[in-house]
């Protein structure tokens, strides 16, 4: 029916209007970039312990441009977009917020921004370091 077509068309327009801008270091305040780098450098050892049972061989972050390194032994590089408290995670969240901000007062549009994109939010597994003997 025409009413259903109009409803579907309206929903398509609303969904297709969701735009997640690419966030760069220039879009983020210096103090926020420093916090993000501290978080990034703090989570890297946990991820390397989780994936290689060793400390990282390279763990750095430059707040000026949000370039980062998290390299574990044997050149293992965790997929940082899958974890919270990483630069990719924070950039993703910032992109979602920018999408919602671009919606103005349209709450339906903003809700679609928040529900339409998932930022990785896994934490490293807890490694049990206790040993039992019998």
What is the tens place of the pLDDT at every residue in 41-88?
999 999 999 999 999 999 999 999 999 999 999 999 999 999 999 999
By the 10 Å C-beta count (0-12 exposed, 13-18 middle, 19+ buried), 33 is classed as buried
Structure confidence at residue 9 as a pLDDT band (50, 70, 90): very low
Can you tell me the mean pLDDT for 32-40? 98
- Give the pLDDT confidence score for residue 134 in this predicted structure: 46
Tell me: pLDDT of 28 over 60: yes
Question: Taking all residues of the chain, what is their mean pLDDT, rounded to a whole number?
Answer: 85
Give CA–CA dist 92/99, Å, rounded.
Answer: 11
Instruction: Supply the DSSP symbol for 122.
Output: B
How many Å separate Cα 58 from the centre of its chain?
A: 21
- Give the pLDDT confidence score for residue 102 in this predicted structure: 94
């Amino acid at each position: 029916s025409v009413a259903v077509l109009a409803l579907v068309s309206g929903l398509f327009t609303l969904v297709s209007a969701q735009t997640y801008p690419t966030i760069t270091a220039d879009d983020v305040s210096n103090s926020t970039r420093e916090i993000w780098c501290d978080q990034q450098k703090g989570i890297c050892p946990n991820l390397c312990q989780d994936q290689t049972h060793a400390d990282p061989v390279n763990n750095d972050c430059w707040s000026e441009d949000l370039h980062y390194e998290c390299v574990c032994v044997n050149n293992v590089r965790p997929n940082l977009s899958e974890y919270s408290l990483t630069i990719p995670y924070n950039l993703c969240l910032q992109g979602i917020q920018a999408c919602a901000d671009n919606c103005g007062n349209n709450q339906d549009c903003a809700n679609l921004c928040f529900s339409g994109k998932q930022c990785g939010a896994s934490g490293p597994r807890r490694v049990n370091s206790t040993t039992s003997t019998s």
